[in-house]
Amino acid sequence: MTIRITGTGSALPEKIVTNFDLQELVETSDEWIQKRTGIAERRISTGETVSTLAARACERALEMAKKTADEVDLILVATCSPEQLLPCCACQVQDLIGAARAAAFDLNAACSGFLFALNTAYAYLQTGIYRNALIVGSEVLSKLVDWSDRGTCILFGDGAGAAFVEASVGEVLRGNGRKAGMECLFQGSDGAKGAVLSCEERPVANAFLSTAKTGNPYIQMDGQEVYKFATKQVPACIQEALDKAKLAVDDVDWFVLHQANVRIIESVAKRLRADIARFPMNINRVGNMSSATIPVLLDEWNRSGRIKEGDRLVLSGFGAGLTYGASVLVW
Ligand code: UT7
End position of a domain, from candidates 137, 168, 199: 168
CB atoms closer than 10 angstroms to residue 105 = 15
Shared domain for 198 and 284, answered yes or no, is: yes
Shared domain for 80 and 187, answered yes or no, is: no
Shared domain for 142 and 203, answered yes or no, is: no
Please list the ranges in the chain whose pLDDT falls under 50.
none
Task: Give the pLDDT confidence of 126-157 residue by residue, as tens digits.
Answer: 999 999 999 999 999 999 999 999 999 999 99
Shared domain for 227 and 90, answered yes or no, is: no
CA-closest candidate to residue 113, choices 137, 134, 145, 133: 137
**43 near 71, Cβ under 8 Å?**
no
**Structural domain harbouring 204:** 181-330
Task: Give the pLDDT confidence of 189-227 residue by residue, as tens digits.
Answer: 999 999 999 998 888 888 898 877 777 889 999 999 999
Shared domain for 101 and 190, answered yes or no, is: no
Cβ of 319 closer than 6 Å to ligand 1, yes or no, is yes
Q: How far is CA 158 from CA 81, 215, 247, 314, in A?
A: 10, 23, 35, 24
Cβ of 263 closer than 6 Å to ligand 1, yes or no, is no
Shared domain for 92 and 189, answered yes or no, is: no
CA-closest candidate to residue 327, choices 250, 219, 240: 240
Enzyme catalytic residues: 111, 258, 288
**65 near 166, Cβ under 8 Å?**
yes
Quote the CA–CA distance of 202 and 190 in Å, as a whole number. 22
Domain annotation covers residue 82? yes
Domain annotation covers residue 175? no
Q: How far is CA 139 from CA 52, 255, 280, in A?
A: 11, 22, 21
Q: How many independent structural domains does the chain possess?
A: 2
Shared domain for 60 and 207, answered yes or no, is: no
End position of a domain, from candidates 123, 141, 168: 168
Note the pTM of the prediction, 2 decimals: 0.97
pLDDT of residue 203: 84
CATH number of the domain where residue 24 is located? 3.40.47.10
End position of a domain, from candidates 125, 146, 168: 168
Give the atom of ligand 1 at the shortest distance from the alpha carbon of 150: 48
Shared domain for 196 and 325, answered yes or no, is: yes
